[in-house]
Structure 1
Amino acid sequence: MAGFPLFRSLTLAGAALLSHGAHAAAATSPPPPVASFFSAQQVSHAALSPKGGYIALTTMLPDGIQALVVRDSTNLSKVTLLARSTADRAVITSVHWINENRVGFTVRNLDNEFEGNLDEFAIDRSGENRVHLIAGNWKHQQKQVGSNMVNRTLTAAYSFHGVTHDGSDDILVEKYTWNNTDRTPDHSRLMRLNTRTQALRSAFDGTQPEAVQSWLTDGNDVPRVVTAQVKGRCITSHRNPADTSWSEIGNSVCYQDQRFAPLFFDGADTLYVTANYKGNGALFRYNLKTLKMDPEPFVETPGYDFHGSPEIDRVTHKLLGLHLHTDAATTVWLDPALKAEQAKIDAALPTTINTVHCAQDCAASPVLLIASNSDRQPQRFLLYTRASGAVIGLGGVHPDIVPAQMGPRSFHRYAARDGRSIPVYVTLPPGKPSGPQPAVVLVHGGPMVRGGSWEWDAEAAFLATRGYVVIQPEFRGGTGFGADHFQAGWKQWGGTMQDDLADAARWAARQGWADPKRVAIMGASYGGYATLMGLIKDPAVFRCGVEWAGSTDIKLRFTTTESDASQEILGYSLRLLVGDPDNPADAAMMRKNSPLLRAAELKQPLLMAHGLMDRRVPIENARSFAAAVKAGNPNVTSIIYNDEGHGWRRPENSIDFWTQVETFLDRNLKQAP
């Protein structure tokens, strides 16, 4: 088929030689342009069919149109084009096999960001029998047959939940219900939807617990465990397959109590949960008959909370292995054959982390799918033929990136001023810089998330190619590094969480990497807040800043009418984690640490950007702060993207933004003071 990338089959040894040669050839090439880092992904969403006979993926055609294609895994020259999506108006965000003959895919409508914007489709791998299952537009008119809601396209009150594994044409969807207050759904119910007839029915019989927010199904796709958050309590309930009622198996104060969290079922009906073990979250087996957890963990990752996903054979019901993240990604195989195949693949691709995925019927699949990346290599996909050992490249998300042109990325821990150990990722400029270099402290959003991993990070890689040392602290208050690390950040916006960022800059200077007189701070969302507070609180540390989608007034989180935060979040979660505006001490802290109230103190150069349609951090945050800071600071630039929400979803806006970032840093940071 014309317009698709060519594929080249390699022996295992040949793959390693090719990688080395490509690195050597590119050692002195100029760095890639901005678009190479932030353009639309060229090849993505690769997925094996249940028996491994086919692979579906999205690819960008030469005319800039995103396409969904299916290839025969034993003869990749056999290509079927299933769908085309204009990249500037809509983008395919998920691809999933319903059965060996049928593919489902999700489309995000970029013009309809907040009024329901996810469409769901299903189509045969031959390109026939395409059905529009869910319309991501509230104005879509339902077609009803009598009183039975069948044979119709569902509205945006539904969303794709997951596939079934019984060979049928069914998928699982969630039906959302709203209360009279919140923009976000109050609860959902799990349904089965036939992707040919569009017949819709409940996935289980009986009632369900209050305020269900998430669903967990067993190896037979039967809903078995649900979680809810009600008045600050996190509640987990379960049911046996034949039951019509649910029983609580967990009820604790959210975040505060050491509760367990259900993660997945293996095919043999064993529930796996995370729970505290020696200060970190570990993976345990949980017996639903005795309602007890094993005394010892199934997997523990000392120094890190368990974060991983299972590889399960849906035919034999065996748990084959676990894909894990510690400082970087790895896989622990329980299946000896896959462990041996992983070793062969790693020997062929020694410079990358190679995450191997098997088909649902793993034993019968002729191929394995490899998702490969490193600190210098964006994700690419390869196919491993089990009989011959051949490795075939399928393409990558950013093929213009040459690893030899990228800087190395490493993981460290530094001591904050109070002695707390803070994890941090550092990306250095390519080559061997002579002496300390200008640096950027890049602050992740959330903040109650883990910021990153060792693998490719487009923002850090881009900044490093422009000559900056990039410092990414996993500051207290983030997750992934134990309960104590998380809880140490409660009600510390602008406090010790902020101190961790200044301490990171000073630590990098002591290592000889960063020039202490040329350090910038930048970030999005919470990272945008931290950028503004860093410039205000530590003007001797941070010379300039870049923030986008940032919160500028802590109290505004509670008072704005444009936010998507639910009453549950406003009434409980934010008050525990950020601060309670009705508590005098917390209210004083929030006034002290709100950038808007201290805008007159910010004198350094600042670049701001915000999406007009942002509902997570509404536009009033940017407008009020820009007006306040510009009154006393002439070196402030404010950008508004009229067609964006919370962050950049359109590649053209990402490219424009990072082009302006490059110019801003070149003018305000790169040159010595």
Structure 2
Amino acid sequence: MRRPLLTPLFHVVVACVAMLTGPARAAAPLPPVAAFFGTPHFSHVKLSPDGRHVAMAILLPDGSQGIAVRGTEADGKLGALARVDGVDVGISAIDWVNNGRLTYLLKDLRRNADTQRDVFAVDIDGKNLRHLISGDWRFKPDAPIGSTISSRMLPPGYVYVDRINDGSDDILIAKVSWNNVDIASNSSRLHRLNTRTQRIRPAFEGSQPPAVRSWLNDYDAVPRVVTSELKGRCSTWYRKPDDTSWTEIDSAACAEGKAFQPQFFDGSDSLYVEANYKGYDALYRYDLNTLTRDAQPVVETVGFDFQGSPVVDMTSKRLLGLHLTTDANTTVWFNPVLKAEQAKIDALLSGSINTISCAADCLAAPVLLVTRENDRLPTEYALYVRATGKLLGLGSSHPDIKPAQMGQRSFHHYPARDGRKIPVYVTTPADGAAGPRPAVVLVHGGPTVRGSSWEWDDEAAFLASRGYLVIQPEFRGSTGFGSDHTTAGYRQWGGTMQDDLADAAQWAVKQGWADARRIGIMGASYGGYATLMGLIKDPAIFRAGVAWSGVTDLQLLFTSLQSDATEDALDYGMRATIGDPERDAALFRTNSPLRRAAELKQPLLLAHGIDDLRVPIQHASDFYGAVKAHNKQVQLVTYDDEQHTWRKQQTILDFWQRVDTFLDTNLKH
């Protein structure tokens, strides 16, 4: 009989802490690795639908996590509902079913696949615990699990989708179907699951389009819009609330991008979509009665693609505001009450970005949840009490971080060698040292993602605390800065994408910030690939490197039998963004670190998870074997039971301690 992932917790083991009380003395000892990368002390904070309770994940003294709820009144007490089973089980999400019941998603690092989660539900008094969905691929539905939970638990082919907001005990889940070729999802279908009886029923009647990848429901939990992906083509489909048929409203090659991306609803007939405007994604209203998009956008973020989420009052089902990310996070309010409350909160908490989260009944709830952060301050949580205009502190995600010791982040553009303007974040250490200093170019993975924002970043903050200038380029191929910036990186692995990183380092030298003799490069996944190519292509610029979970052989990305890349990705998406392994074979050889391993002469720290399916361990082992004979300054560290994104605290802390030692040895002197 296996141990349950979630067990009752009968007493409160942590107390709420106040908001930031003042700057720490800069002369204090530097925070240890665990202060940056340890499990957050407070996380996944969420208000109940009526705003009278707040749930959160808390860090317990033994290093495991617990789930706690407190009332939002001034004298509310923190009551712990349950704790997870050990440090290798993490809480990945918390949501409310209704005012008296919650759901939790847990990640069991001992047995869950990378994308799977165990799903539980429990009342706010700790009773009626149900294990709804297993995240263990070995689970068989007809076998009892644990001592009290029977075979009504669903197998890991089901996943949590969303709450329903109708006051019932139901949640939305999806049943994922899988193919037998690459163990990838073919499609999914929505269901309602009762979190008490554990009975399941369809969320809607009728058929659905093929190869559904995502669902967008209206605020009555009715599926209205789906996106599908089949043979490299991405399509959007729509159905009316009382209809059973679907109409295709957009379709295009996935790599080229669709005409618009559905985002959220406002009322029943207004869909908001993301679409191109002057070379950047903007937010438009899409009329579902006429199936037409407005001529002008509702929101344009000049110089940035629209990246945002709605604030909706679930009672009126109306849009109240938008949380946006440009160079930093911000909020635009359409509702005058919330706009005024934002101003009051900002006056109470100056010098930080204060993001308001609403209860489902937003305008009538007694409190607002405030998330506070800036470039030197990790996330802190508080409640704003509307009746008094005062704040109640809940806690900090990383309370051992002292803002006075953190580096300051700034956003710039630098010129690449071909004249393209490249966005970049720079973190300058807080030590007050004058003149050029050792620097690290920190390369994000993806690569077709946005790498960073202005707020506190654990990796950049850690490196800056050790005295390094941290340079984070949003090199071409990154998203968030216009479609041309993204597509300029297609088929440029090792080419102009790589040149952007060298140009970032040289730009920082010209600013007088970086010491040209002491610049390193580091990153994970694509960032690991770029680290190796940087050391090979630009040995005069980069003195040392750290590459983890990194690609070393472009051909192997397409041919590895261990990879989790889907057929669609291999046949369409990767060929468009990376290249064709047959037609571009010569280019792949030139731009694969493995084929040029003999050129790498600098110190290098390699690290890889043994169970990595995204970039299989063969990438690291082959490269290490090719380089170690001529370069004795190369280290390879492998981590058992780790996949592409490392999950275990012992792995993360060990790795960053090694990074600290490696950079100190190779860049400080």
TM-score, L = length of structure 1? 0.95
Cα offset for 1:42? Answer: 0.8
Matched, 1:46 2:45: yes
State whether structure 2 residue 162 is matched by structure 1 residue 152: no
Q: In the TM superposition, what is the alpha-carbon distance from 1:267 to its structure 2 partner?
A: 3.6
Deviations 1:274-297 (A, max 9, x none): 000000000000011111000000
Matched, 1:201 2:201: yes
Segments of structure 2 that go 5 or more residues without pairing to the other structure are 1-10, 145-149
What amino acid is the match of 1:512?
A: G
Question: Could you say which residue in structure 2 is the equivalent of 1:11?
Answer: none
Distance in 1 between residues matched to 2:116 and 2:504, nearest whole Å: 39
Q: SS at the partner of 1:322?
A: strand
Give the Å deviation of 1:137. 1.2
1:373 corresponds to: 373
Length-normalised TM-score, structure 2: 0.96
Change (3 A) 1:236 1:258: closer
The amino acid across from 2:321 in the alignment is G
User: Cα–Cα, structure 1 residues 43 and 76, in superposed 2: closer, same or farther, change >3 Å?
Assistant: farther
Give me the whole-angstrom Cα distance separating, in 1, the residues matched to 2:267 and 2:73: 28
Displacement of 1:259 after TM fit?
1.6
C-alpha distance in 1 between matches for 2:152 and 2:165: 24
Q: Secondary structure at the match of 2:554?
A: coil
Cα displacement (A) at 1:76: 4.8
The structure-2 alpha-carbon separation of the partners of 1:257 and 1:360, relative to structure 1 and needing over 3 Å to count, comes to: closer
Cα contact 1:599–1:628 (8 A) shared by 2: yes
- Residue by residue over 1:632-665, the C-alpha shift from the partner in whole angstroms, topping out at 9 and shown as x without a partner, is 1000010000021112211221111111101101
Determine which of 609, 612, 632 is the counterpart of 2:610: 612
CA contact (8 A) 1:110 1:117 kept: no
Q: Is the 8 A contact 1:49 1:56 kept in 2?
A: yes
Residue 323 of structure 2: SS of its match in structure 1?
A: strand
Which of 628, 647, 653 is the equivalent residue of 1:655? 653
Alignment of 1:352-371 (within 5 A): 352-371=352-371
Q: Which moved more, 1:388-397 or 1:619-628?
A: 388-397
Q: Residue 640 of structure 1: SS of its match in structure 2?
A: strand
Aligned twin of 2:536: 536
- Which residue of structure 2 lines up, in the alignment, with residue 164 of structure 1? 164
State whether residues 313 and 362 of structure 2, in contact with CA within 8 Å, keep that contact through their aligned partners in structure 1.
Answer: yes
- Are 1:448 and 2:458 counterparts? no
Matches within 5 A, 1:75-94: 75-94=74-93
Instruction: Supply the AA of the counterpart residue of 2:42.
Output: V
Q: What pairs up with 1:26-45 in 2 under 5 angstroms? A: 26-45=25-44
Q: Residue type matched to 2:374 in 1?
A: S
CA drift of 1:75 comes to 4.4
Pair 1:212-2:212 in alignment: yes
| More off after superposition, 79-88 vs 229-238 | 79-88
1:297 pairs with 2:307 = no
The CA deviation string for residues 39-93 of structure 1, in whole angstroms up to 9 with x for no partner, is: 1111100000000010000111223231101101114542332110134221111
Question: Does residue 190 in structure 1 map to residue 167 in structure 2?
Answer: no
Q: Give the number of equivalent residue pairs.
A: 654
One-letter code aligned to 2:319: L
Partner of 2:416: 416
Q: Distance in 2 between matches of 1:76 and 1:553?
A: 59
Write the letter of the residue equivalent to 1:74. Answer: E
Aligned partner of 1:587: which letter? Answer: A
Provide Cα deviations, 1:556-599, integer angstroms capped at 9, x if missing partner. Answer: 1100011111000000000000001122xx22111110000000
Out of 618, 624, 627, the position equivalent to 1:626 is: 624
**Does residue 5 of structure 1 match 2:7?**
no
Per-residue CA distance 1:206-239 (angstroms, 9 max, x = gap): 1111111000001111001111111221111111
Higher deviation after alignment, 134-143 or 32-41: 134-143
Amino acid at match of 1:118: R
The amino acid across from 2:31 in the alignment is: P
Q: Report Cα offsets for 1:136-159 as digits up to 9, x if no partner.
A: 1122231499xxxx9711000001
2-structure distance, mates of 1:228, 1:171: 23
Alignment CA distance shift 1:240-1:558 (3 Å): same
The separation in 2 between residues aligned to 1:382 and 1:525, in whole angstroms, is 36
**AA matched with 2:171:** I
Could you tell me whether the CA contact under 8 Å between 1:477 and 1:486 is conserved in 2? yes
Which residue number corresponds to residue 124 of structure 2? 125
Aligned equivalents of 2:522, 2:151: Cα separation in 1: 50
SS in 2 for 1:37: helix
Per-residue deviation, residues 8-58 of structure 1 (Å, max 9, x unmatched): 5xxxxxx7xx65xx21x4232222111110111111000000000100001
SS in 2 for 1:463: helix
Q: Report the CA distance shift for 1:480/1:215 in structure 2 as closer, same or farther (over 3 A).
A: same
The aligned residue for residue 393 of structure 1 is 393
- Structure 2 partner of 1:223: 223
Range that drifts further, 67-76 or 103-112: 67-76
Deviation at 1:3, TM superposition (A): 2.6
The equivalent residue for 1:65 is 64
Question: Structure 1 residue 319: deviation in Å?
Answer: 0.5
**Quick one: structure 1 residues 151 and 362, their matched pair in 2 at CA, closer, same or farther if it must change by over 3 Å?**
farther
Shift of 1:181: 0.6
Check if 1:635 corresponds to 2:633.
yes
Residue 494 (structure 2) aligns with: 494
The code of the aligned residue for 2:528 comes to G
- 1:116 & 1:467 partners in 2: Cα distance? 36
Partner letter of residue 482 of structure 1? G
CA distance in 1, matches of 2:536, 2:599: 6
**Match of 2:396, as an amino acid?**
G
The SS at the match of 2:623 is: helix
The offset of 1:7, in angstroms, is 4.5
Secondary structure of 2:606's partner? strand
CA, structure 1 residues 68+559, in 2 after alignment: closer, same or farther (shift >3 Å)?
A: same
Residue 184 of structure 1: how far off its partner (Å): 2.1
For 1:646, the equivalent position in structure 2 comes to 644
Equivalent residue letter for 1:601:
E
* Contact persistence 2:65–2:87 (CA under 8 A): no
Identity %: 56
Q: Match of 1:106?
A: 105
Residues 218, 269 of structure 1: 8 Å contact kept: no
AA at the equivalent of 1:606: L
Name the Cα RMSD after superposition: 1.5
Of 242-251 and 603-612, deviating more is: 242-251
Matches within 5 A, 1:396-475: 396-475=396-475
| Secondary structure of 1:300's aligned partner | coil
Letter in 1 for 2:296: E
SS in 2 for 1:173: strand
2:594 corresponds to which of 593, 596, 608: 596
> What is the alpha-carbon distance in structure 2 between the residues aligned to residue 117 and residue 532 of structure 1?
32
Looking at structure 1, the residues matched to 115 and 438 of structure 2 have their Cα atoms a distance apart, in angstroms, of 43
SS in 1 for 2:185: coil
Aligned partners of 2:64 and 2:89 also within 8 Å: no
Q: In the TM superposition, what whole-angstrom CA distance separates every residue of 1:600-622 from its partner, at most 9, and x where no partner exists?
A: 10000000000011111111111
Pairing 1:261–2:271 present: no
